[in-house]
Amino acid sequence: MFCYQCQETAGCKGCTITGVCGKTPRTAAMQDLLVYVTKGLCAVTSRLRELGIPVASSVNKHISENLFATITNANFDEDAIVERIRQTLIEKESLLANLPSKEGLPDAALWNGAEETFSEKAAKVGILSTEQEDIRSLRELITYGIKGLCAYLYHASVLGKQEEEIDSFLQKALAATLNDSLSAEELVALAMETGKYGVQGMALLDAANTSAYGNPEISKVNIGVRSRPGILVSGHDLRDLELLLEQTQGTGIDVYTHSEMLPAHYYPAFKKYPNFIGNYGNAWWKQKEEFEKFHGPILMTTNCIVPPKDSYKDRLYTTGASGYPGCVHIPDDGKNGKDFSVIIEHARQCAAPEELETGEIIGGFAHSQVLSLADNIVEAVKSGAIKKFVVMAGCDGRAKSRDYYTDFAQALPKDTVILTAGCAKYKYNKLNLGDINGIPRVLDAGQCNDSYSLALIALKLQEVFELSDINDLPIIYNISWYEQKAVIVLLSLLYLGVKNIHLGPTLPAFLSPNVAKILIENFGIAGIKTVQEDIHTFFH
Ligand code: FS2
Ligand code: SF4
């Protein structure tokens, strides 16, 4: 196997024996083949569009869901991946039949085979099949950005929002990664264009979430527990949470969020459920000890799954693009619904969660809420009470080196405000960093896709302060990454013209020295050093 799509890749080079995340070589091979046949399907849909033949929205959703299933920590279930390959081949064959000619289509679009041939094919189409290092790096940069984008599009689509222009672009871009005649310069341009659609995709998801559930508002979230049995919901899919909350009304079962589901508490629509109790635990990588102590069933709606311990494996359920072998998967009923009764029944047999901590955390600083406070914030900047904003969005992870972010948050001058989104926040959202004239020093916009809010806030400040360049704002970017959604957030920020982003705890292994050089020279991208050195760089 060879995989280097995430920050925790073995030796900062690539997982070759087994995945640090727990992905087996066989699952890795099937994911490689799934990406390949999905790119083949994209070559066919792109050809259809060129000919003026429309592509059904169900095909677009299928493509997004396939890519989503290959994101780090999302789906470890080899059988489920094999089934996706089969369905993709069936879909592709039926669309191929609409083409007057197959001439010029790549092998990925033309190849078909029975399941017995999948392993042999997978071995020929993985990442290393692109020999030239820079081309490989750029193809993977685009592919990973699009994987992140697909996750966001999938969430928007279950709320009834799709945008043909975005799907059309991403499918063309994925097909382009199969095209041997594209130069490195053309692929760099495509990576930048991917950022443009990253912004559009996050805007679409933002519109889907806020039109369904209202605008996030400042909210205090309980981090303690009650004495009734509960269900823990993790991942990013708000529609799944909504369905579960509806189905648990009057059952005596409580519902708690975990990790990236925490920001659900900021949406007005979820506040009406009396059994929606609070957030349990921390970022994804602590789930082994925390899930054990929760005692009740856990629903993983997306990544990030850590291979479960036997002690709670029977309590772990998956849905949507996620999956784990041996864990029950709750399917979509085909009518935009899901039946969670098996999880609710399971919860009735379980003890109440063990208390991990008590108290509250505050969040809900997405664009609408922050812009309603704009006068106070602008005043605080003008008076010098706030000297700088520090964007610390992104992901958390297992590496000890990520303690840097806790130490960095604590070492920041007291006249700075952290703008955050994603699970990166767990490194400092319980530190009680105080406030500046009533404005909390950690403003949490929400999930990683809500980085869109941070971009909107920056654009608004640029307008208020009448600056021609977004980089003239008193904003520092010190972003932590783990999986591919952070890649689309990064490409989106680059598209918006943001420069000098610091990215850690390590730069992506999939950036070849030449591609890294392009990002460093054109955008000032840099890694992190020690807290003391970085504080000095940013503030002196
Ligand atoms: Fe965190 Fe994992 Fe949110 Fe990432 S829970 S690393 O999926 O997308 O961030
Ligand atoms: Fe390794 Fe990350 Fe790939 Fe998992 S997703 S196999 S940890 S590079």
Q: How far is the CA of 217 from the centre of ligand 1 (A)?
A: 22
CA 226 to centroid of ligand 2, rounded, Å:
37
Residues of the chain with pLDDT > 90, as a percent, come to 99
The atom of ligand 2 lying closest to the CA of 15 is: 1
Does residue 1 sit within a domain?
no
Q: Which atom of ligand 1 is nearest the CA belonging to 259? A: 5
Q: Domain check: are 28 and 147 in the same one?
A: yes
The string of pLDDT tens digits covering residues 232-284 is 999 999 999 999 999 999 999 999 999 999 999 999 999 999 999 999 999 99
DSSP 464-488: HTT-S-GGGSSEEEEEE--SHHHHH
For residue 482, report the distance from its CA to the centre of ligand 1, in Å: 7
Whole-model pTM?
0.98
Q: What is the largest CA-CA distance in the chain?
A: 69
Backbone angles phi, psi at 244, to 5 degrees: -65, -40
Residue 451 Cβ inside 6 Å of ligand 1? The answer reads: no
Residue nearest atom 6 of ligand 1, based on CA coordinates? 395
Number of domains, the chain: 3
Looking at the structure, tell me whether residues 301 and 335 fall in a common domain: yes
Identify the domain containing residue 340 by its residue range: 219-348
**Judgement on whether residues 463 and 517 belong to the same structural domain of the protein:** yes
CB count in 10 Å sphere of residue 179: 12
Mean pLDDT of 484-495: 98
As a whole number, mean pLDDT of residues 92-99 equals 98
Looking at the structure, do residues 103 and 223 belong to the same domain, yes or no?
Answer: no
Query: Counting atoms of ligand 2 from 1, which one is nearest the CA of 5?
Result: 8
Q: Tell me, yes or no, whether 501 lies in a domain.
A: yes
Ligand 2 pocket list (CB less than 6 A): 3-6, 8-9, 15, 19-21, 23, 72
Atom of ligand 1 at shortest distance to CA of 260? Answer: 5
| Closest atom, ligand 2, to C-alpha of 72 | 5
Any domain includes 5: no
Q: 355 near 225, Cβ under 8 Å?
A: yes
The number of the ligand nearest the C-alpha atom of 303 reads 1
Examine the fold and report which residue of 316, 348, 380 is the final residue of a domain before the chain moves on. Answer: 348
Instruction: Please tell me the chain's helix, strand, coil percentages from 3-state DSSP, rounded to the nearest 5.
Output: 50, 10, 35
Average pLDDT score over residue span 510-516: 98
Do residues 300 and 415 share a domain? Answer: no
- Domain-terminating residue out of 186, 212, 238: 212
* Strand, helix or coil for residue 373: coil
CA 190 to each of CA 27, 172, 173, 305, 410: distance values in angstroms, whole numbers, following the listed order: 29, 10, 7, 31, 39
State how far the Cα of 4 lies from the Cα of 36, in Å rounded to an integer.
Answer: 16
Measured in whole angstroms, how far is the alpha carbon of residue 15 from the centre of its chain? Answer: 21
Domain co-membership, 504 together with 393? yes
* CATH classification at residue 24: 1.20.1270.20
- Examine the domain organization and report whether 248 and 324 are in the same domain: yes
Same domain flag for 223 and 199 = no
Best residue among 306, 423, 447, 480 to mutate for probing ligand 1's pocket (most ligand atoms within 8 Å of CB) is 423
The Å distance, Cα 112 to ligand 1 centre, comes to 34
Mutate to test the pocket of ligand 1, among 234, 304, 490 (most ligand atoms within 8 A of CB): 304
Place of tokens 């899919």: 237
Q: DSSP labels for 301-342?
A: -SS------HHHHTTEEEETT-B-TTSEEE---SSS----HH
The two structure tokens encoding residue 10: 């073995």
SS3 419: strand
pLDDT of residue 539: 95
Ligand 2 center–CA 9 separation, angstroms:
5
pLDDT, position 438: 94
Q: How far apart are the first and last CA of the chain?
A: 46
Q: Domain check: are 170 and 315 in the same one?
A: no
Does the beta carbon of 134 lie inside 6 Å of ligand 1?
no
Q: Is residue 229 domain-shared with residue 97, that is, in the same domain?
A: no
Last-in-domain residue among 196, 212, 228: 212
- Residue 71 CA: nearest ligand 1 atom is 7
Residue among 1, 2, 4, 5 to mutate when testing ligand 2 (max atoms within 8 A of CB): 5
Residues 6+ apart with CB under 8 A from 10: 16, 17, 20
List CB contacts of 146: < 8 A, sequence separation 6 or more: 67, 170, 173, 174, 194, 488
Chain mean pLDDT for the chain:
98
Residue 211: φ, ψ to 5°: -75, -30
Query: Is the same domain home to 310 and 332?
Result: yes
CB 366 within 8 A of CB 446: yes
* 357 domain residue, yes or no: no
Handedness of CA 22, 120, 13, 135 (dihedral sign): negative
**Mean predicted confidence (pLDDT) in 366-393:** 96
pLDDT digits (tens, 9 = 90+) for 9-47: 999 999 999 999 999 999 999 999 999 999 999 999 999
> Mean of the pLDDT values across residues 298-320?
98
pLDDT tens, 142-196?
999 999 999 999 999 999 999 999 999 999 999 999 999 999 999 999 999 999 9
With respect to residue 364, please indicate whether it lies within any of the assigned structural domains. no
Pair 191, 224 in one domain: no
pLDDT of residue 147: 98
In a domain, 192, yes or no: yes
Is there a domain that residue 354 lies in? Answer: no
**CATH number for position 442:** 3.40.50.2030
Rounded Cα gap, residues 89 and 93, in angstroms: 6
505 C-alpha vs ligand 2 centroid, how far in Å? Answer: 16
Give domain status of residue 45, yes or no: yes
Residue 336 clears pLDDT 90, i.e. is over it: no
| CB 471, CB 391: distance < 8 Å | no
- Counting residues of the chain whose pLDDT is more than 70, the rounded percentage is 100
Residue type, 342: V
For the stretch 105-130, pLDDT in tens is 999 999 999 999 999 999 999 999 99
Ligand nearest to the CA of residue 489, numbered in listed order:
1
Q: Which of 23, 31, 34 to mutate to test the pocket of ligand 2 (most atoms within 8 A of CB)?
A: 23
Q: What is the dihedral of CA 73, 68, 362, 476, to 10 degrees?
A: 90
